[in-house]
Structure 1
Amino acid sequence: MPDNPQPAPGHEFALPGHAVLAIAGRDAVAFAQAQCMNDVAALGDGEWQWNGWLTPKGRVVALFALLRHDADTLWMLLPDASAATLAADLQRFVFRSKVTLTPLAMPVAGRFGAPRQAQGSTFAKAGDGGVELDMGGDGGPRTLRIGPMPASVDADALARWEAADLAHGLPRLDATQSSQWTPQQLSLERLRAFSVKKGCYPGQEIVARTHFLGQAKRGLALFDATPAPAAGSDVVACGRGIGTVVSAAAGACLAVLPLEREPGPLQADGIALHHRPLLGGLAR
């Protein structure tokens, strides 16, 4: 019998940190295109992408999955940020746009198994009003479901889900790490989560300058660590801080480090860090 039993493929469990923010109205796509860092206009009905909202200095406030239901309805699936807080922040930029921002009271659940209908960047609508997303990658199949029925709480399965996010290079930004990092520092090009070709959006000049001038000098690295160091901890090499832990989960962490650095042992909070490659396949 394995030391760490894995949930059965059909076992659904709650993802309590996730929230959903609806953007609705005839200007929904135009509003999101002007505010978000990825090319919202490129989405077709029934498609989703990784996206985010930046500070004017190009730092990631929130990273999310953006779903287009139709020309008048978008959903932001927020793994970490408060839907109510983000709605209030975005409301300041609505001006005369015909758009409403509404947090939705819809539970979110995960499952380690292939989606029943969703595939890649195409999501599927269920008959009960729920939505299914394909969250699988090179680490194996995963399915995420939005509403309407809540799932059971399973702390072990949730920890495994969060560790899988990190393994695929999806940083989970708690309040201490929000607004701290540029998309390039978080290696979000791996998820195709931002655009350097679309029109203006908050922070766009910083993102574009970094891309076209080749000035990205730091990026994400994945480590095994037991216990995992806390987000915000310094990564130390030879007694000198060279980076920062951005996200931590059971036995793993993501850190922003120089892309070019001397080989050698690393630690954070006195915990040894053991490098391993990031998994692919989560880009949408």
Structure 2
Amino acid sequence: MSFKPNPAPLTCPTLPGIGLLRAAGRDAAAFLQAQAMNDVNALAPGRWQWNGLLTPKGRVIALFALLREADDQFLLVLPDYAAEDMAAHLKKFIFRSKLSLQPLDQWRACAGPAPSGPDRALANGDADAGWVLDLSGDGTDRGLWLLPAGDGAIADEDPETTQAWRQADLAHGLPRLPGDQRETWTPQMLSLDRLGAFSLKKGCYPGQEIVSRTHYLGQAKRGLVRLQAKSAPPAGTPVLDPQGRELGRLVCAGGDQLLAVLATDPDAGDLSAAGQPLVRRELLNGLAR
């Protein structure tokens, strides 16, 4: 299905910090299948999934949305990761593969309404006019609009919209990894199974052995927890129990919403970080794709 996603007078505030990288060519699918942690071959054109890259030790380098624009063309939507930096990282592994990596510097990621239709993994649009991804979840109705420069729907950033978007990401368990939290956590520590973001069956990829062993031997002793605080301590801050023992660390924050990786101990009692009390909140569902 193809359409131009800019019905006037719709305006979509720009969301900063989201890189857009197009991978295209005869070997694009095979290359991404070998490098990424989810099953790229399972994607039909026009559909998208959560995906990511791992170190050989199974630590998350980046988490992103991957859209298959055509049989031999993909779009990586990269929260908190510059497209140029991702291209430089992936080029180290291309060798003789036939594909190009093109940062879409003139495109913008914007906040707008969700596309209509029950299938949330189906993108609306095309590679020329732009795309809309449904990022709705429990209690939210939102679309991520990916638009080329000059599209009339693009509006300047609105700080309130940016913060609300980030808070919704965190509330649904989508980690927003700052640079100092890359290569720190395994997919299981970040509970990325909730998003359907990695595969246990697709075959080899960097970090796959660690991911599979952790899953099948039941060795995941920590997981993602949603917390709330009056003001957010920085990522990496220890989370303490009432006795001052460290249970884990903060991963990311947005407004009063925080995500932390904590030991799986539901009876730990009151929690704190940097002297601030933390309140446990349930992670919302509905963002799996």
How high is the TM-score relative to the length of structure 1?
Answer: 0.93
Does residue 244 of the first structure (1) align with residue 249 of the second (2)?
A: yes
The residue aligned with 1:192 is 196
The residue aligned with 2:15 is 15
In 2, Cα distance between the equivalents of 1:137 and 1:17?
21
In 2, Cα distance between the equivalents of 1:118 and 1:15?
25
8 A Cα contact 1:126 1:132, kept in partner: no
The residue aligned with 1:257 is 262
Q: CA deviation at 1:151?
A: 2.2
Alignment of 1:161-200 (within 5 A): 161-200=165-204
**Aligned-partner residue type, residue 69 of structure 2:** H
Aligned in 2, Cα 1:59/1:156: closer, same or farther, shift over 3 Å? same
The residue aligned with 1:6 is none
Q: Compare 30-39 and 79-88 and name the one that shifted more.
A: 79-88
Q: CA deviation at 1:118?
A: 8.5
Aligned in 2, Cα 1:128/1:83: closer, same or farther, shift over 3 Å? closer
Q: CA deviation at 1:116?
A: 4.6
For the residue of structure 2 that corresponds to 1:176, the secondary structure is helix
The residue aligned with 1:160 is 164
How high is the TM-score relative to the length of structure 2?
Answer: 0.91
Q: CA deviation at 1:86?
A: 1.2
Q: CA deviation at 1:126?
A: 5.7
In 1, Cα distance between the equivalents of 2:132 and 2:117?
8
Aligned in 2, Cα 1:143/1:261: closer, same or farther, shift over 3 Å? same
Does residue 232 of the first structure (1) align with residue 236 of the second (2)?
A: yes
8 A Cα contact 2:20 2:104, kept in partner: yes
The residue aligned with 1:208 is 212
In 2, Cα distance between the equivalents of 1:13 and 1:239?
43
RMSD (Å), alpha carbons: 1.5
The residue aligned with 1:115 is 115
8 A Cα contact 1:48 1:121, kept in partner: yes
In 1, Cα distance between the equivalents of 2:139 and 2:170?
11
In 2, Cα distance between the equivalents of 1:196 and 1:208?
6
Q: CA deviation at 1:263?
A: 2.8
Q: CA deviation at 1:119?
A: 4.0
Q: CA deviation at 1:207?
A: 0.3
The residue aligned with 1:28 is 28
For the residue of structure 2 that corresponds to 1:101, the secondary structure is strand
Identity among equivalent pairs (%): 52
